[in-house]
Chain A
């Protein structure tokens, strides 16, 4: 899989921005190639050797990262044009795919830049509040087991519960922009996750009300990009379709009951 003729040097073209208000600019950094690098280890190298290809000492590149195992969601950025986690982006694979030793790194474009590759994804967490993304338990008292469920139901919910709020689906979505109100695949899928739990479903109507508002499910343009880029293979388009169906039922019920 990995070819033998590897380059001596890698070049990173990085889109930088000093703070939320300033203009972005590009800088290039060289580093020696080693086998088994991922983009994080390249960024770590650049942090320790913050000198551009032109020989200029600059401030180290800023980015967000934490677990480096593609489970925390922190280190998402746009690598060679594609939104993904930089920890699981392996340099050898990128070289095989592109045949090019120049690798570009950019911040995601759908979120405000904090600095360099670090963006502000608080909108995603706020959207989880909008859809009441929790199971409403009475408290931490000893009240016995939760509801039983079949292995099939567990399997279905588990697939949804792996969403790490990374933002890839929103970056790839043509309907989700930096300044509109669309809630996006992530929050819709999470709403479905909680609606699928016996106790969680007690808030189903409130979740569906939230998803009926401006920026709700009906703003989805069905481009289906979200599901293609999700690093956890979450069935996002299924979630959107299922929630759409729940909404139809919800509105018919509301129409007849007036509630």
Chain B
């Protein structure tokens, strides 16, 4: 197998110290590529899949921003900012959220200029829909595939950059490790070609991780199969900190499946879809035969203001409890999400998500209520990042070098992979916003930092790059020659089952302790894992098995973080500590990797609240 360090320019481009490396080609990575290129830097963009196939395509519902119509009804950027903090149970840092929500209208305008086919009103204005966590219509959307439409627009712009020579794509390359110099500064990356299995080092004056979430740690989730969290876990093992790793969003409405849980968008409820269960336990009747009076619209009953549009963590728990109490459909773990009574025009707006449901279940939601159950959906926590706030705390300083830089100088984290913006729970339709915002706003910081490094003449030496390439080759050899007996796919299945059971909707101390024991066993099994493919051409088995080791490490940080956070906040619910405890835990959990003991060390850091005072998060609940 190839074993080389690139030192001079070659035909592939992407080798000099005067370039910026971006890992991941979803919304965050593409927006960053575009912005950094616009600032005059050359970009090397790495992705495990053709960037157009990144996980951002899966987002369905929309992207939030105040607009002219919402504003005249009393909505504002400030209110969007406040909703995001309230939704996040005040674990979010306020200055970055302030910048994001105030930039949001301009981000929509930019997408509009790029040609995104946003839905239109009769007059030709961009239409809006309701979404969770707000009493105002402020969600822009493009059919039922908003994420797909937004990423395509950025993909197209980056293709133009590619033709113009400012961006070089490295698709089917897997990030393996950050290159750190003796001072601990990030100077590039090591990556592997997923076809030839060649391992190479690439110099970068700055490195941006935009590698998304980690749903695969939980086995079946709504995430794409590439969302292992592997890249983030590798940075963590190399010394980058994780922030709030235990905060994982469970989406209330997913279609349970054999291979994954497919999302049923919040827009179904935004457009009027109602959640209910039969009032009679184990009612055997078809939903259409159950009369109105015998249906229990439990969300509307408990939350008269927000109704079906309470934030995701609240909806998820209410659904889960109804099933625990035996009110699930036919006594099982599913509830009805009913769109059958909606007007035809509204149903047409939801045609795209109905199509998905019908395609994968055979039932048409226009005629029959959908059967749904919660599934792991979004990673609020992630790589720890810093920023420079404006003097009055209203936003981040645009262009400050450290915006969304990790604790490792020169290593940035953008989009779902960082821990910013969403705190304890993310509001629906805020993810597309935060990912794009990071790329566009913090891209300037990356370019500024990179230029400074270049003018200071700082870059990785050949021997440093070779050291990291050797290290990764050694890991591959060790895995390939491991003569163990454990099947990596079986270890993964067990890991997913344990974490889903113990550490998603309900987090009971005893159950988490059991899961922790299992996880320790799985780590031992992993040491004796056996590859079923040891060839050196497109070895997917090697790639998966390597990521499995990373999932175990990241999973441990999630589990320990959840066990130590003795409170309930946002998506983190502990039945033994059902209340929020600001005194002890209005803090970021920081996980640092202890190399010697192969485990996380947890520390806590205060979350300043400069603009909005934390308040109880009730969403107008009536008991």
Are B162 and A129 interface neighbours, CB within 8 A?
yes
Which has the most chain B C-beta neighbours within 10 Å: A44, A72, A157, A199? A72
Among A2, A66, A118, A133, contact of B55 (Cβ-Cβ < 8 Å): A66
A38, B359: Cα distance in complex, Å: 11
The 8 Å CB contact of A140, one of B110, B143, B156, is B110
CA distance A151 to B532 in the complex (A): 53
| A123–B257 CA distance with the chains assembled, in angstroms | 33
Inter-chain contacts of A149 with B (CB < 8 A): 120, 124
Task: Report chain B residues within 8 Å CB of A144.
Answer: 109
Chain A proximity mask over B118-130: 1 for CB below 8 Å, otherwise 0 = 1111111110000
B225 at interface, CB cutoff 8 A: yes
Q: Given A44-B259, A151-B121, answer yes or no on A114-B148 (Cβ-Cβ < 8 Å).
A: no
Contact A18 B537 (CB under 8 A): yes
Q: B49, B142, B157, B538: which has the most chain A beta carbons within 10 Å?
A: B538
Distance from A176 Cβ to chain B, minimum over Cβ atoms (Å): 19
B106 within 8 A of A: yes
Q: Distance (Å) between the CB of B448 and the closest chain A CB?
A: 15
Instruction: Evaluate contact between B58 and A69: CB separation under 8 angstroms.
Output: yes
- Given the complex of chains A and B, what is the CA–CA distance between A73 and B53 in angstroms? 7
Q: Is the CB of B258 within 8 A of A37?
A: yes
User: Does B159 lie at the interface of the complex (its beta carbon under 8 Å from any beta carbon of A)?
Assistant: yes
Contact with B along A66-100 (1 / 0, CB 8 A): 11111111100000000000011010010000000
**Is A67 within 8 A of B259, CB to CB?**
no
Contact among B57, B112, B260 for A146, CB-based, below 8 A: B112
Complexed CA–CA distance, A133 and B163 (Å): 11
Complex contact A129–B159 (CB within 8 A): yes
Q: A235 at interface (Cβ–Cβ under 8 A)?
A: no
A165 at the B interface (CB under 8 A)? yes
Q: Which of A74, A88, A118 contacts B359 (CB 8 A)?
A: A88
Chain A residues, CB < 8 A from B114 = 134-135, 137, 146
Chain B proximity mask over A1-15: 1 for CB below 8 Å, otherwise 0: 110000000000000
The 0/1 profile, CB within 8 Å of B marked 1, for residues 42-79 of chain A is 00100110100000010110101111111111100000
Given that A71-B58, A134-B159 are known contacts, is A90 also in contact with B115, CB under 8 Å in the complex?
Answer: no
B537 and A36 within 8 A (CB):
no
Q: Is the CB of B532 within 8 A of A194?
A: no
Interface string of B470-505 (1 = CB under 8 A from A): 000000000000000001011000000000000000
Tell me how far the C-beta of A97 lies from the nearest C-beta in chain B, rounded to whole angstroms.
13
- Among residues 111 to 144 in chain A, which have CB atoms less than 8 Å away from a CB atom of chain B? 114-115, 118, 121, 125, 128-129, 132-137, 139-140, 142-144
User: Are B34 and A136 in contact, with the CB atoms below 8 A?
Assistant: no
Question: Is there an interface contact between A62 and B120, defined as CB atoms closer than 8 Å?
Answer: no
Do the beta carbons of B489 and A137 come within 8 Å of each other?
A: no
Decide: A135 and B149 in contact? CB cutoff 8 A.
no
Cα A142 to Cα B109 with chains together (Å):
8
Does B535 have its Cβ within 8 Å of any Cβ on chain A? yes
Check A150–B58 contact: CB distance below 8 A. Answer: no
A161 touching B149 in the complex, CB below 8 Å, given contacts A88-B359, A134-B156: yes
* CB pair A59 B113 closer than 8 Å: no
User: Can you name the residue of chain B whose Cβ is closest to the Cβ of A69?
Assistant: B262
* A251 part of interface (Cβ distance < 8 Å): no
Which residues does chain A contribute within 8 Å of B541, judged by CB atoms?
Answer: 47, 59-60
> Within the assembled complex, what's the spacing in Å between the Cα atoms of A154 and B34?
25
- Chain B residues with CB under 8 Å of A129's CB are 159, 162-163
Shortest CB-to-CB span from B438 to chain A, Å, is 13
Task: Tell me the complex Cα distance, A154–B148, Å.
Answer: 15
- What A residues does B145 contact at CB under 8 A? 71, 162
Check A158–B143 contact: CB distance below 8 A. Answer: yes
CB-contacts of A147-166 with B (<8 A): 148-151, 154, 157-158, 161-162, 164-165
The answer to whether B120 touches A134, judged by C-beta atoms less than 8 angstroms apart, is no
Residue in B closest to A1 when the chains form the complex, CB atoms: B362
Known contacts being A1-B362, A59-B532, A158-B117, is A87 close to B259, with CB within 8 Å? yes
Q: Are B160 and A150 in contact (CB under 8 A)?
A: no
Question: Is the beta-carbon distance between B157 and A158 smaller than 8 angstroms?
Answer: no
Complex: A136 Cα to B120 Cα, angstroms: 22
A254 is an interface residue with CB less than 8 A from chain B: no
Q: Which residue of B lies closest to A18 (CB)?
A: B537
- The reply to whether B53 and A154 contact each other, CB–CB distance below 8 Å, is no
- Of B53, B112, B126, B162, which is within 8 A of A74 by CB? B53
Give a binary string over B158-169; 1 marks a CB under 8 Å from any A CB, 0 the rest.
Answer: 011011000000
Binding site for B on A (CB under 8 A): 1-2, 18-19, 34, 36-38, 40-41, 44, 47-48, 50, 57, 59-60, 62, 64-74, 87-88, 90, 93, 114-115, 118, 121, 125, 128-129, 132-137, 139-140, 142-146, 148-151, 154, 157-158, 161-162, 164-165, 194, 197, 199-200
25 A–B contact pairs at CB < 8 A? A18-B537, A37-B258, A38-B360, A66-B54, A67-B53, A67-B55, A67-B57, A71-B58, A72-B58, A121-B50, A125-B50, A129-B159, A134-B156, A135-B114, A140-B440, A143-B109, A144-B109, A145-B112, A145-B113, A146-B114, A148-B124, A151-B124, A162-B148, A164-B57, A200-B115
List 3 A-B pairs, minimum CB-CB distance, nearest first: A146-B112, A48-B489, A134-B156
